[in-house]
Amino acid sequence: MTNSNWTASTSPQQQNLRALAEKTLINNDLGGYTVPTHGLYPFQWNWDSAITALGWMQFDEQRAWQELEILFSGQWPDGMVPHILFHKDSDSYFPGPVVWGADKPIKSTSISQPPVVGSVMKIMLEQAKDPHFAREKATTLFNKLVDYHLWWYQQRDPEETGLVVTYHPWESGMDNSPAWDDALQAVPCVTWSYERRDTKHVDSAQRPHKSEYDRFLYLVDFFKQHQFDSKRIFAQCPYKMNDIGIIAILHRASKDLLIMSEMLQMQDERTEYIAKRMEVTQQAISALWCEKDHYFYSRNVLTNQLVAVKTSAGLLSLYAGFASATQKTSLNKTSIEWLQASQFSLASTHPSASCYEPQRYWRGPIWLHINWMIALGLEESGYQDTAKSIQNDSRELIKLAGFYEYFNPETGAGCGGKDFSWTAAIAMHWLL
């Protein structure tokens, strides 16, 4: 936790950073969609794009809506919005469309990513300076958004347990989180050889290990061999997770979708169905609460075990709004103690955990879009001071290091890719 003396007033330094943030998005624009960063991630990523739209909203509303339109242009007929859309060829990334093997008009991966887009759309609708235009755009996208949420509830929770299942660590958006370690052990390794491209752009000490990549690729092959058939994959996938991060983000986005359905007067039996499924989630969520640790964990569906490692995903339960009053109190206490455990916050894995690695991707580094969601959840739960501390640290990090992909909680150093879209977008939306 740092003591920031940066006030909310617009200083020249803030103006400068804001201009740089705008420039980052403009430079990463590939004609209607934004790459997370050039080289390392040369395509359109699902939750990156959604978060990035919040940044575009600050200076080009038309462009912000276009980001979402292009994202939904890659939606599969069953409603799934893929995790990556390969609009243009690039050889700086692996695995590309051939390895994924999904035969669709817009080449894509065959899994999704945290569905934050519904929540983003609601913010865009509420904050629009041109409400007429925003309403028109939201109205056109709304049914696609509903299809996407129905896909989560129906294809990823066909037994209506209330807790959707994810099939790949890449789907969680938190690729090498220690929460996936044990479950990944049950996944075989690919037997073919491949050449990674990520470690050509970023120091391998800041990236996942080969042992993880071998299993990530096995799962990609598995989906292809099962012809992307939802029923077969649900029945046989060797990796099935109730990811508390995705469950929380979906729940919040469904709530926002229902609010939008009222704003746009688009309520119907499909939105009613989503409301019913949300009630089932609210009932089921206690299964992910660990009474001993006072914390929400993900659950390995195949072993029915909670994954008892404290990652920042558990704090998204506040953002989702499904924590009870006593759970909220515990989670705020945990957050305060978490903030004190490193120089900057909030580390993606609790610094006291043995698997904590402050510079390796999702095993410790700070991610600003996650900070934003956690702070929002804390604020809405009545913990303004804790939320402010997270916001101050986030500001301090961009001031010190710029718009990096993620940050080392011990030193504040920027890690991973440079000039990163979602970091610049969150800076504009939340920090500057």
3-state SS class at 185: helix
- Where residue 298 falls (left for φ over 0; alpha for ψ -120 to 50; beta otherwise) is beta
- The arrangement of strands across the sheet holding 299-300 comes to 241-242, 299-300, 305-306
Place of tokens 């060797």: 238
Nearer to ligand GLC, 47 or 289 (CB): 47
- The span of 45-53, 74-82, 159-167, 321-329 binding ligand GLC (CB under 6 A) equals 45-53
Q: Does 216 bind ligand GLC (CB under 6 A)?
A: no
Q: Which two three-digit tokens encode residue 280?
A: 């089932």
Binding mask 153-192 for ligand GLC (x = CB under 6 A): --------------------x-x-----------------
Amino acid in position 6: W
If residue 73 lies in a helix (H) or strand (E), which one and from where to where?
helix 61-73
CB of 197 to ligand GLC, least distance (A): 12
Q: Which one is catalytic: 147, 171, 175, 379?
A: 175
Q: Where does this chain touch ligand GLC (CB under 6 A) — which range of 24-32, 42-50, 199-207, 224-232?
A: 42-50
Nearest-approach distance from CB 5 to ligand GLC, in angstroms: 32
- The interface with ligand GLC within residues 18-37 (CB under 6 A) comprises 36
Q: Which residues of 177-213 are buried (b: 16+ CB within 10 A; e: fewer)?
A: bbbbbebbeebeebeeeeeebbeebbeeebbbeeebb
For position 322 contacting ligand GLC by CB under 6 A, the verdict is no
Kind of pairing between the strands at 289-290 and 295-296: antiparallel
* 256 sits near ligand GLC (criterion: CB under 6 A): no
414: which DSSP letter? Answer: E
For ligand GLC, the closer CB: 161 or 199: 199
Nearer to ligand GLC, 173 or 412 (CB): 173
Residue from 14, 24, 47, 277 that binds ligand GLC (CB under 6 A)? Answer: 47
Which element (helix H / strand E) includes 213? Answer: helix 210-225
Q: Any catalytic annotation for residue 175?
A: yes
How far is residue 221's CA from residue 160's CA, in Å, rounded to a whole number? 27
Residue 174's nearest CA partner among 266, 75, 249 is 249
213 contacts ligand GLC (rule: CB under 6 A): no
CA neighbours closer than 13 Å in the CB half-sphere of residue 58: 20
Which range, of 44-52, 146-154, 247-255, 261-269, touches ligand GLC by CB under 6 A? 44-52
Query: What Rg do the C-alpha atoms of the chain give, in angstroms?
Result: 20
Question: What span, in angstroms and rounded, lies between the C-alpha atoms of 363 and 347?
Answer: 8
Q: By C-alpha distance, which of 117, 116, 228, 119 is closest to 168?
A: 228
> Which residue out of 61, 157, 396, 405 is catalytically annotated?
405
Exactly one of 33, 45, 152, 216 binds ligand GLC (CB under 6 A); which one?
A: 45
Q: Per rule CB under 6 A, is residue 67 in the interface with ligand GLC?
A: no
Q: Give the separation between CA 155 and CA 223, rounded to whole angstroms.
A: 14
Among the candidate windows 41-49, 240-248, 250-258, 315-323, which touches ligand GLC by CB under 6 A? 41-49
- 48 binds ligand GLC per the rule CB under 6 A: yes
Shortest separation between residue 173's beta carbon and ligand GLC, angstroms: 4
Q: Determine whether 147 is an active site residue.
A: no
Q: Can the peptide bond before residue 351 be classed as cis, meaning omega within 30 degrees of 0? A: no
41 contacts ligand GLC (rule: CB under 6 A): yes
Instruction: List the catalytic residues.
Output: 175, 405
By CB under 6 A, name the binding residues for ligand GLC.
36, 41, 45, 47-48, 173, 175
